[in-house]
């Protein structure tokens, strides 16, 4: 205001006043008013101040998810929308918090895999899950190529798999606790072995009373004790290290399952679930048993006897000492092979069937653990591993060694001859040995 008044004061002698901005002229000199809009903007600017440009760490790098709306140099995305299938920075995410229809959208942590949620055939969001083919599909797929299949919503399947995941985590955590108990027990046994061996070595110093006569024998006993001590401690520590490695692996597996359980993207969860959910070994409380031995105390008894009957021990009973030392064995041998059904069930595992190998007349259900022989062909997708001649299906799990199966037969399957139901091993190219169930009508 002061500036323009001073400028027009210099033009009073001309009698014509021009705007220094647009050069429009006025006669007579106009009365200036306050620009309220500009004044309000200036006042607001005084209160808030100029916002600094985003720091470099706010921009998306090669490993970050970039905002799909930003132009030029893109900012990091703070959320991804499973409905819009786009990622947004904090600025462009605001409509999802303010606009009523957008508030209903599902926001998750930034993801680079949003396009994996789009059906390549129908260009629709895959919100359904086909349990028959074990894959995510869109709604149009469920009424088209997957018509008649066992389909549910991805959210429902996620809920069921989440429960299975939690059970797996509980099993892993129980295994960790069992292994930690075993490690503690082994550590205590190491201390007991060392203490017993040290005490026995100290007691064996009675040989020095016999000076020259038993000095050599004393040295031999000490050497045998130490040698056996090292052997036993080494065996225990080797097993202890293996158990600690198992614990580390189980904790890593638990962390992967925990991370998977927190995945908000149903499709990503179901994509990663099969490779993480299976457990390779059965649960049991403990595989370590310590025999209540007296360690090297038998050696002390033998040495005391030596003191009283020197001549006999030196000639006939020297072997007693040697056998007593080598008899120290704190670890029980491997448990015998089970002989009864109860024993076998302690090391049982769940077998799931691979839908990519199922003959088209076989329908899989019950989480791919049940197979039904149908009269009509199922609309399975083409796969090179699928059986076309025999009514067979392979399991997902690889089995090694000697195994036995328990199979429950119901309905028309009773018409099958007992010998027509058998297990047949088959090697699939590029994979380990797997087993299949062959059902053949007489």
pLDDT in tens, 143-173: 888 888 888 988 888 888 899 899 889 999 9
Q: What is the pLDDT of residue 415?
A: 45
Cα three-residue angle 304-308-309, rounded to 5 degrees: 110
Q: What is the pLDDT of residue 207?
A: 62
Most confident range, picked from 53-67, 308-322, 424-438: 53-67
3-class SS shares of the chain: helix, strand, coil, % to 5: 45, 15, 40
Q: State CA 4 to chain mean position distance.
A: 73
- Find the mean pLDDT for residues 2-28: 80
Higher pLDDT, 135 or 116: 135
Residues paired with residue 59 on neighbouring β-strands, in sequence order? 75
Above 60 in pLDDT, residue 136?
Answer: yes
Burial 41-58 (b: 16+ CB within 10 A, else e): eeeeeeeeeeeeeeeeee
Q: What is the pLDDT of residue 430?
A: 35
Of 112-116, 128-132, 307-311, 384-388, the range with the lowest mean pLDDT is: 307-311
pLDDT in tens, 255-314: 888 888 888 888 888 887 877 766 665 555 556 666 655 567 777 777 777 666 666 555
Greatest alpha-carbon pair distance for the chain in Å reads 145
Query: Alpha helix (H) ranges present in 115-153?
Result: 139-142
Of 212-221, 245-254, 330-339, 430-439, the range with the lowest mean pLDDT is: 430-439
Per the prediction, the chain carries an average pLDDT of: 77
DSSP of 9-43, one letter per residue?
HTTTTTT-EE-TTT--EESSPPPP---HHHHHHHH
pLDDT band at residue 424, thresholds of 50, 70 and 90?
Answer: very low
pLDDT band at residue 363, thresholds of 50, 70 and 90?
Answer: very high
Q: For the full predicted model, state whether its pTM sits above 0.85.
A: no
Above 90 in pLDDT, residue 110?
Answer: no
Q: What is the pLDDT of residue 432?
A: 33
Of 22-36, 183-197, 233-247, the range with the lowest mean pLDDT is: 22-36
Above 80 in pLDDT, residue 135?
Answer: yes
d(CA 347, CA 281): 8
pLDDT band at residue 357, thresholds of 50, 70 and 90?
Answer: very high
- Find the mean pLDDT for residues 68-79: 87
Burial of 345 (0-12, 13-18, 19+ CB in 10 A): exposed
On whether the CB atoms of residues 297 and 196 are closer than 8 A, the answer is: yes
pLDDT band at residue 98, thresholds of 50, 70 and 90?
Answer: confident
Q: What is the pLDDT of residue 425?
A: 36
Cα-based distances in Å from 385 to 3, 8, 394, 434? 86, 92, 9, 12
Q: Which long-range contacts (CB under 8 A, 24 or more apart) does 255-259 make?
A: 257/165, 257/168, 257/169, 257/172, 258/169
Eight-class DSSP state of 353: B
On whether the CB atoms of residues 56 and 44 are closer than 8 A, the answer is: no
- Find the mean pLDDT for residues 183-194: 88
């Amino acid at each position: 205001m002061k500036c323009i008044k001073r400028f027009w004061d210099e033009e009073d002698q001309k009698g014509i006043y021009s705007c220094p901005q647009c050069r429009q002229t006025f006669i007579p000199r106009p009365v200036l008013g306050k620009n309220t809009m500009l004044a309000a903007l200036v006042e607001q600017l005084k209160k808030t101040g100029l916002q600094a440009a985003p720091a470099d760490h706010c921009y998306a790098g090669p490993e970050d998810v970039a905002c799909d709306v930003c132009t030029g140099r893109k900012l990091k995305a703070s959320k991804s929308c499973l409905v819009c299938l786009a990622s947004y920075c904090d600025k462009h995410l605001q409509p999802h918090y303010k606009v009523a229809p957008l508030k209903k959208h599902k926001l998750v942590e930034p993801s680079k895999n949003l396009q994996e949620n789009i059906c390549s055939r129908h260009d629709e969001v895959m919100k359904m899950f086909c349990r028959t083919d074990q894959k995510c599909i869109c709604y149009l797929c469920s009424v088209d190529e997957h018509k008649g299949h066992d389909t549910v919503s991805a959210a429902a399947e996620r809920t069921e798999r989440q429960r299975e995941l939690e059970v797996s985590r509980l099993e892993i955590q129980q295994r960790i606790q069992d292994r930690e108990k075993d490690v503690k027990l082994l550590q205590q046994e190491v201390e007991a072995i060392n203490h017993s061996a040290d005490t026995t070595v100290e007691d064996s110093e009675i040989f020095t009373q016999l000076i020259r006569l038993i000095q050599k024998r004393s040295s031999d006993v000490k050497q045998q004790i130490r040698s056996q001590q090292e052997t036993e401690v080494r065996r225990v520590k080797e097993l202890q290290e293996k158990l600690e490695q198992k614990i580390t692996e189980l904790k890593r597996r638990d962390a992967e399952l925990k991370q998977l359980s927190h995945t908000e993207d149903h499709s990503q969860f179901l994509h990663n679930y099969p490779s993480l959910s299976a457990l390779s070994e059965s649960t049991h409380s403990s595989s370590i048993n310590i025999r209540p031995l007296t360690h090297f105390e038998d050696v002390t008894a033998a040495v005391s006897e030596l003191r009283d009957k020197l001549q006999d021990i030196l000639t006939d009973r020297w072997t007693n000492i040697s056998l007593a030392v080598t008899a120290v064995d704190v670890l029980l041998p491997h448990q015998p092979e089970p002989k009864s059904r109860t024993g076998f069930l302690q090391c049982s595992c769940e077998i799931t069937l691979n839908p990519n190998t199922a003959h088209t007349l076989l329908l899989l259900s019950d989480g791919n653990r049940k197979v039904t022989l149908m009269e009509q062909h199922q609309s399975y997708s083409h796969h090179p591993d699928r059986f076309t001649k025999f009514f067979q299906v392979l399991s997902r799990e690889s089995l090694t060694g000697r195994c036995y199966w328990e199979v429950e037969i119901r309905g028309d399957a009773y018409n099958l001859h007992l010998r027509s139901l058998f297990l047949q091993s088959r090697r699939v190219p590029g994979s380990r040995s797997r087993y299949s169930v062959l059902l053949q009508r007489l």
